[in-house]
Chains A and B, each alone.
Chain A
């Protein structure tokens, strides 16, 4: 049971990382900002500089 719960937690962590939810949390933590539309827009602007430059693989 412990193993299943641990694996599920890990899966959710991986999904949150893949889908940039963790990156947003870190952004809020780094800038000590609350979760809001304005801070998410700010996060997206920062992401645009890095994420949009990453190639998707073939």
Chain B
């Protein structure tokens, strides 16, 4: 039996190596997307079986006899011992956001190879490890949050920095997410109609759930989903009707204002009326669509038309400027490692885990599933002809406004595309144009529509699939937006409550309106900056988001390394120290480039300088560049502080100047182990 197991794992290893060699070494010919799927599945299987098991057994020493907070603090509300597969689904639904879809699509400008390799290596050695260890450390501290753990294990500065970093990342994340939606919906009456309809549909769901069928959320979500499908179908009619089509055709600035107003309303309206039903609807669509995409890719087994590497590895890419190192790594963000996951791993999930050893499957395993979503996004982007991909994702400031000029520029780069082809594609997906749709969402939607329409319905329904994909992305990006605005509002209220108690009252309407306005204005500033940017906004804002997200992961890995050293396991600290060192080098290098690079397409300050020295001086753009420099500088300074404080703590513990003692909750024996033996 043992020999058979060894042979099976050897076969998985050989197959994975063959798939990786195929995607890495094939040049000049298209490869099938299944090579990426096989490489990913084998890598995850090996990573889970061997690396996560090593971490569980040697580093964390998972204890099957120790009661989890879900057991010894069970209250039927927050702390509930739950089946591991149910917690896995819950955790995956919480961590899966737009990042792993958008990031890999943008990074595809380097070709499919760099993104794929980083998604696999980053997840197995970084993202999965981070999610797993933070989840376990939170379980052993009665479900405490990352900021509380940072304060207890590193010090007050650690806690404060983690808190400020979270606010910073939420603001930047929301601004970038909103920009992705604006770029997907501008001049698109069909998409705008569908998304606008999701708001009354959500309200209807809220009322149905509260008045007619209390508690029947699955039934209500299914009903909402049917209504959304009708809205997609209705969007086609609306876009073809000249009078109604006009009502839903907006420019980017108008859409930005509408989204800012929506964010404010969603934060201030009762949760049951808009936020909660939209959240349910978005989760329903998200889980269903991800499953459909996986089935579509395996069923269709499409060919990747994007080369393994493109000429843009030199840093001159039109989607975003900068070389593979460090920009591919901060662009992919959540598909490989996401600091935001550490908030989920130290939030709801640790309060549901029934047995300590299950933390491995839930923490490490759910991140592998998220990473697989990123691989699927890479495939969706790379099944497009490269010329089409660049025509959709390149801003007008780089390729020109006129279709012929844009097609000529892109063809000159070596990626042939014609204005006629782009026009036909736009017509096939029911849009007026697909040029200059930066942000990743439209390119992903075209790729997804290609996969879906070739699997089901053919070219005749490509427009419906495209708008289904746009609805899917916009719906759950807007859910991130309204939930994030509310979370940010609560965090500001908590902080202000320390200064003056009335400001901290979460039910006081003046406080709700003031703090909602503050958080909406903060991310609205970044959104506005993005829509006014001639380079499309994504070029400056997505890297800023990637830096913020990866810096939060740096904070989480600092906390994890500190705890591992305090556990007396310094010899194994490399499991979190290695990804930490990598992230520090990536984020600090990227930040340096974004602030001081002499190329105006990369460096904020040099861009400001180029505007000032040009004839068309634009004070607003210069101010934005300087503001982005300050924000990046503040984030880097905060993380430097936590790094210094952590390093000093490690030195004190390793040199014996400080007692190595972790602040875990006292051991309580589990009753479940005895029950299982009976």
Residues of A whose CB lies within 8 Å of any CB of B are 10, 13-21, 23-27, 29-30, 35-37, 39-41, 43-44, 46-48, 50-58
Contact = CB atoms under 8 A, between A and B. Distances in A.
Given A24-B217, A44-B272, 20 more contacts: A10-B83, A17-B86, A19-B284, A27-B76, A30-B75, A30-B77, A39-B214, A41-B272, A51-B271, A52-B487, A53-B486, A55-B484, A55-B487, A56-B483, A57-B96, A57-B99, A57-B344, A58-B97, A58-B338, A58-B545
A19 B340 contact: no
B86 A19 contact: no
Contacts of A55: 170, 340, 343-344, 347, 483-484, 487
Interface of chain A, main secondary structure: helix
Contact of B90 (A17, A29, A57): A17
Given A21-B217, A57-B94, A10 B338 contact: no
A34 B546 CA distance: 48
A40 B76 contact: no
Given A44-B210, A52-B486, A58-B480, A29 B76 contact: yes
A13 B352 CA distance: 14
Given A55-B483, A55-B484, A55-B487, A41 B210 contact: yes
B81 to A, nearest CB: 11
B215 A15 contact: no
Contacts of A50: 77-78
A14 B276 CA distance: 18
A20 to B, nearest CB: 6
B636 interface: no
A6 to B, nearest CB: 10
Contact of A15 (B89, B279, B486): B89
Contacts, number: 131
Nearest to A7: B85
Most buried by B among A19, A40, A47: A19
A5 B56 CA distance: 31
Interface residues of B, number: 60
B76 A56 contact: no
B549 A58 contact: yes
A10 to B, nearest CB: 5
Interface string B77-107: 1101011011111100111111100000000
A35 B484 CA distance: 31
Interface string B493-511: 0000000000000000000
Contacts of B484: 55-56
Interface of B: 75-78, 80, 82-83, 85-90, 93-99, 170, 173, 177, 209-211, 214-218, 221, 270-272, 275-276, 279-280, 283-284, 287, 333-334, 338, 340-341, 343-344, 347-348, 479-480, 483-484, 486-487, 490, 545, 549
Contacts of A17: 82, 86-87, 89-90
Contact of A52 (B271, B287, B334): B271
B479 A56 contact: yes
Most chain-B Cβ atoms within 10 A of its Cβ — which of A16, A30, A41, A53?
A53
A18 B77 contact: no
Contacts of B75: 30
Which 7 pairs of residues, A with B, have the shortest CB-CB distance? A40-B214, A14-B89, A19-B217, A58-B99, A57-B97, A24-B215, A30-B76
Contacts of A37: 210-211, 214
Contacts of A39: 214
A44 B276 contact: yes
